[in-house]
């Protein structure tokens, strides 16, 4: 179950987060805390506010109200320091197509590190991310989406950040790649990494997450322990939450 | 950020076909410009050498002829007599004063296609001599102005902007920027590295060309000293670096403002058109409207009228002129002597024209002042002038040379005038004044160039700071899209 550190700090914490885009209330007081070694899946339909929440955690967006903290650092007050504790895998991992997977990893890791990582360590990160050895030195323009996603994971692994954010990580991945991704995430969580994953893939979320939050209209409607519900039950809960809120709205 | 990023950037550049295209275009245009510049300079020096040799041979021949005629006697027309001071000062001892090309003259045509690099000095009126000297200008204009300065001012910014390709708008469009922003936090250093490497790709070949041109052995002793060449090369290189840094900073700043590559590239193309083509054209129009070029026809008409008047007034007026200017001759002047009369008419005409020529000179100086202000309208104008200055083909070096020509012309007349008016045989061939070009002090050139560099580097710093500030907020901009 979720836990804070000895000082009462949570690796990832959202308190009363509100964000409005013109007439649309994207976040309406989101409260969320994710503990060390926990993998939290934020489920929700399109426009529920998942990506907005991630963008605020990344420091890309300023909330209208509320606080976002990464490793006890207020993201709005010190976004650079907050980002140092963060690894991020976007929905579409875009890399430099003329560099190989290994070269992209060295480049992106190099951006945030004062010293270059040894070649063996870089290869180790790619291996952990599940990329086949033969692909390491192939240029990325020959990669599938799943392979790029794995390089994205390797970049996140190489960063050795205590918190990892993923935006729709299984979107567009074939079942095998999605399975491998889930294995990687489980490994990371086992090593104490805090993971927040925005998704609408109920099946994958149930497989990998230790907690699932159902976000609708910018508010956390329900939290579910995936170990205690079956796939069908989770789907019913999700649809009920969505229909209930959308029904009320209409 | 560590060395892995630098290695990655170098790999990206080496694998980008655009880089090789840019290098190919740059190298080909530079080679073409250098070949043309070197050929032009060599041809110019060949003409100078021929002139200097012809001047020396003519004077030597006149000297020997004068000695021979004096010793052996013989009939010779007074209009060809090498013992006649007027004939010697007007024809036989004519000197072509030469503005020596600098070691970098091949890099910039500058003003040398408008102002000749030599002026013949004799007893002829100053304006007539200058008019003769300009005869070469139309031929040079027909050759055109394709030189290394053209490549630097017009072509290099386009190639640099092509290499930058609207970065970081390109990264934003391709979706790489969020990952970069998370890895790096502040994108200023990353942007500076990328921009700096692309700047070097364009800058280095140009600097190499400058060094090669400075290194090339000059075709003769008429060139300026090597030490001056290296000083000029240093200033030239800094001016090129300043100008291209300005374009790099402008490119990145606009790249941080634009939402996508297309808009960034369009804005940069518009900026190039405005700063390199339109503003200089507008400045030219403004200059012509505020300080129109003095009418040469008007000047020639006035000269003819003054000449006719002086001739009609005859020896009486000339006698009066001599009384007003006793320095022109002693008491033994025969004003009815053809040569004396011609010299005095000429002096009289020049005196009558002085108000007009002063007005012309004032207008020219006012134009020059206006140009000095107008060039601040565009870094392209500032740099174009600076590159010509470093290469020794600028307006200011030409003006300084013309000043020396006028001074020498005065000395020439001071030497020959009294001898012509005295009408005595002339044997002072070895005492005829000789011209030696006085080089501009390096500090004066450096001070002028410092203004150019201050302008370009100052703008670069300002734009660079704007780009860095904008880069800091780029992640936020992305979040709002």
Which residues from B are below 8 Å from A49, CB to CB? none
Same domain, A107 and A170: no
Model confidence band, residue B139 (pLDDT cutoffs 50, 70, 90): very low
3-state secondary structure of B115: coil
Same domain, A190 and A220: yes
Model confidence band, residue B472 (pLDDT cutoffs 50, 70, 90): confident
DSSP category for residue A12: E
As a whole number, the mean pLDDT across chain A is 86
Same domain, A154 and A167: no
Residue among A24, A30, A23 nearest A198 (CA): A30
What number is the ipTM of this complex? 0.84
Same domain, A155 and A167: no
E-strand spans in B342-408?
none
Same domain, A115 and A61: no
What is the pLDDT at residue B319? 63
What is the pLDDT at residue B329? 53
Is A98's CB within 8 Å of B11's CB?
yes
Model confidence band, residue B478 (pLDDT cutoffs 50, 70, 90): low
Q: Which domain holds residue A140?
A: 94-160
Closest residue in A to B474 (Cα) is A60
Q: What is the pLDDT of residues B312-344, one digit of tens each?
A: 766 566 666 666 666 665 556 665 577 877 887
As a whole number, the mean pLDDT across chain B is 83
Domain boundary among A160, A178, A201: A160
Same domain, A56 and A179: yes
Residue B242, class by beta-carbon neighbours within 10 Å (0-12 exposed, 13-18 middle, 19+ buried)?
A: buried
Same domain, A55 and A124: no
What is the pLDDT at residue B328? 60
Same domain, A131 and A81: no
Same domain, A167 and A50: yes
Is B4's CB within 8 Å of A116's CB?
yes
Separation of alpha carbons B126 and B100, rounded Å? 21
Q: Helices B226-257 & B188-215, crossing angle to 10 degrees?
A: 150
**Average pLDDT, integer, range B112-141:** 64
Domain boundary among A118, A138, A160: A160
Model confidence band, residue B134 (pLDDT cutoffs 50, 70, 90): very low
Q: What is the pLDDT of residues B239-258, one digit of tens each?
A: 999 999 999 999 999 988 87
Same domain, A124 and A233: no
Mutation for A interface: B1, B3, B4, most A CBs within 10 A: B4
Model confidence band, residue B138 (pLDDT cutoffs 50, 70, 90): very low
Residue B24, class by beta-carbon neighbours within 10 Å (0-12 exposed, 13-18 middle, 19+ buried)?
A: exposed
Domain boundary among A160, A181, A211: A160
Residue A62, class by beta-carbon neighbours within 10 Å (0-12 exposed, 13-18 middle, 19+ buried)?
A: middle
Asked if the C-beta of A88 comes within 8 angstroms of chain B's C-beta atoms, the answer is yes
Q: What is the pLDDT of residues B197-240, one digit of tens each?
A: 999 999 999 999 999 988 887 655 556 667 788 889 999 999 99
What is the pLDDT at residue B136? 46
Q: What is the pLDDT of residues B42-71, one digit of tens each?
A: 888 888 889 999 999 999 999 998 888 888
Question: Residue A12 pairs with which residues in a beta bridge?
Answer: A34, A70
Same domain, A61 and A116: no
Residue B261 Cα, gap to closest chain A Cα (Å): 16
E-strand spans in B117-263?
118-121
Is B480's CB within 8 Å of A61's CB?
yes
Asked if the C-beta of A150 comes within 8 angstroms of chain B's C-beta atoms, the answer is no
- Highest mean pLDDT (candidates A133-147, A231-245, B345-359): A133-147
The pLDDT of residue A44 is above 80: yes
The pLDDT of residue B140 is above 50: no
Mutation for B interface: A60, A95, A155, most B CBs within 10 A: A60
Which of B88-92, B272-276, B360-364 comes out lowest in average pLDDT? B360-364
Same domain, A168 and A227: yes
Is B178's CB within 8 Å of A60's CB?
yes
Token pair 């708008």 is at which residue?
B169
Q: Please enumerate in sequence order all residues whose Cβ is within 8 A of that of B382, keeping only pairs 6 or more positions apart, or say none.
A: B375, B376, B452, B455, B456
Nearest to A94 among B9, B179, B181 (CB): B179
Q: Please enumerate in sequence order all residues whose Cβ is within 8 A of that of B370, keeping only pairs 6 or more positions apart, or say none.
A: B286, B287, B290, B291
Asked if the C-beta of B178 comes within 8 angstroms of chain A's C-beta atoms, the answer is yes
Number of domains, chain A: 2
Residues A18 and A65 sit within 8 Å (Cβ to Cβ)? yes
CATH number of residue A10's parent domain: 3.40.50.300
Nearest to B11 among A95, A103, A115 (CB): A103
């Amino acid at each position: 179950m979720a836990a804070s550190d000895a000082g009462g700090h949570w690796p990832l914490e959202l308190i009363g987060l509100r964000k409005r885009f013109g007439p649309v209330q994207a976040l309406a007081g989101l409260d969320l805390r994710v503990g060390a070694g926990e993998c939290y899946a934020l489920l929700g339909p399109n426009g529920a506010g998942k990506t907005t929440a991630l963008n605020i955690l990344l420091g890309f967006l300023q909330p209208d109200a509320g606080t976002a903290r990464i490793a006890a650092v207020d993201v709005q007050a010190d976004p650079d320091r907050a980002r140092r504790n963060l690894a991020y895998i976007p929905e579409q991992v875009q890399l430099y197509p003329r560099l190989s997977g290994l070269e992209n990893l060295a480049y992106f890791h190099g951006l945030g590190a004062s010293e270059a990582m040894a070649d063996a360590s870089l290869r180790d990160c790619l291996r952990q991310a599940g990329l086949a050895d033969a692909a390491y030195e192939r240029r990325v323009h020959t990669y599938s989406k799943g392979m790029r996603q794995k390089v994205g994971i390797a970049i996140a692994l190489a960063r050795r950040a205590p918190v990892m954010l993923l935006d729709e990580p299984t979107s567009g991945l074939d079942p095998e790649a999605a399975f491998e991704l889930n294995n990687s995430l489980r490994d990371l969580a086992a090593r104490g990494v805090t993971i927040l994953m925005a998704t609408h893939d109920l099946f994958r979320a149930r497989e990998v997450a230790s907690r699932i939050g159902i976000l609708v209209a910018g508010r956390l409607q329900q939290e579910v322990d995936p170990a205690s519900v079956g796939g069908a039950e989770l789907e019913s809960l999700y649809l009920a939450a969505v229909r209930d809120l959308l029904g009320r709205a209409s | 950020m560590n060395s892995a990023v630098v290695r990655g950037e170098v790999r990206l550049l080496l694998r980008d076909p655009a880089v090789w295209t840019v290098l190919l275009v740059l190298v080909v245009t530079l080679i073409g410009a250098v070949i043309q510049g070197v050929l032009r300079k060599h041809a110019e020096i060949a003409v100078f050498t021929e002139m200097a040799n012809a001047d020396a041979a003519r004077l030597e021949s006149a000297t020997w002829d004068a000695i021979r005629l004096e010793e052996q006697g013989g009939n010779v027309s007074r209009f060809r007599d090498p013992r006649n001071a007027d004939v010697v000062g007007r024809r036989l001892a004519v000197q072509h004063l030469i503005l020596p090309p600098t070691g970098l003259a091949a890099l910039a045509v500058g003003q040398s296609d408008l102002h000749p690099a030599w002026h013949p000095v004799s007893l002829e009126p100053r304006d007539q001599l200058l008019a003769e000297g300009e005869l070469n200008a139309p031929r040079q204009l027909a050759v055109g102005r394709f030189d290394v300065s053209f490549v630097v001012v017009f072509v290099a910014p386009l190639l640099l902007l092509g290499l930058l390709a609207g970065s970081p708008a390109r990264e934003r469009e391709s979706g790489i920027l969020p990952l970069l922003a998370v890895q790096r936090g502040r994108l200023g250093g990353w942007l500076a590295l990328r921009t700096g490497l692309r700047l070097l790709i364009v800058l280095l070949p140009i600097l190499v060309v400058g060094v090669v041109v400075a290194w090339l052995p000059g075709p003769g002793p008429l060139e300026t000293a090597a030490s001056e060449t290296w000083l000029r090369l240093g200033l030239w290189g800094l001016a090129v670096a300043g100008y291209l840094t300005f374009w790099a900073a402008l490119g990145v700043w606009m790249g941080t403002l634009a939402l996508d590559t297309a808009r960034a590239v369009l804005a940069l193309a518009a900026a190039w058109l405005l700063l390199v083509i339109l503003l200089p054209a507008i400045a030219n129009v403004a200059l012509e409207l505020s300080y129109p070029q003095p009418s040469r026809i008007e000047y020639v008409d006035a000269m003819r009228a003054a000449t006719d008047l002086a001739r009609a007034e005859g020896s009486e007026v000339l006698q009066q002129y001599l009384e007003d200017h006793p320095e022109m001759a002693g008491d033994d002047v025969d004003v009815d002597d053809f040569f004396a009369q011609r010299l005095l008419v000429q002096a009289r005409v020049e005196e009558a024209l002085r108000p007009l020529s002063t007005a012309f000179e004032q207008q020219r100086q006012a134009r020059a002042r206006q140009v000095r202000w107008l060039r601040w309208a565009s870094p392209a104008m500032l740099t174009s002038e600076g590159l010509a200055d470093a290469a020794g083909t600028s307006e200011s070096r030409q003006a300084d040379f013309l000043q020396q020509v006028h001074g020498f012309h005065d000395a020439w007349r001071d030497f020959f005038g009294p001898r012509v008016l005295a009408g005595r045989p002339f044997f002072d061939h070895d005492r005829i004044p000789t011209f030696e070009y006085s080089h501009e002090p390096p500090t004066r050139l450096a001070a002028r160039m410092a203004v150019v560099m201050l302008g370009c580097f100052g703008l670069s710093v300002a734009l660079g700071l704007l780009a860095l500030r904008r880069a800091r907020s780029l992640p936020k901009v992305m979040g709002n899209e």
